[in-house]
Structure 1
Amino acid sequence: MSGEKKMKAKGEQAKGKVKEAAGRMTGDERLEAEGRAEQAKGDARTAKEKAKDAFKH
């Protein structure tokens, strides 16, 4: 996985965790859901890149 793409995936996951926590603290269900979705997007990006790497070798 390229360093840039790896950092982007980790950034999405971290941003999602922050949004989810903020949503929980404020009672904002929409923000909490956005956070979970962003984390899932980061997880999917990570999985995609790992699959690419597996086929390279």
Structure 2
Amino acid sequence: MGYDGGITIINDYVRDKRPARNTPAVRRCETFPGKQAQMDWGIIHYMDASGTVHKAPDSL
């Protein structure tokens, strides 16, 4: 896009604006046993023997 400079000056500029490499992707939330529940609200699909795709029932 017309930039004539080098990559080094860009890396120097961006270095202090990036998060640290050792920062965890997801912060864990620890609770005592029995005090928290988690639910995956994703939709599950499965394929039968004939190759037809079905949505799993909402309750089993």
Alignment TM-score, normalising by the size of structure 1: 0.22
Alignment TM-score, normalising by the size of structure 2: 0.22
**Does 1 or 2 have the higher relative contact order (CA < 8 Å, sep 6+)?**
1
* Rg larger for: 2
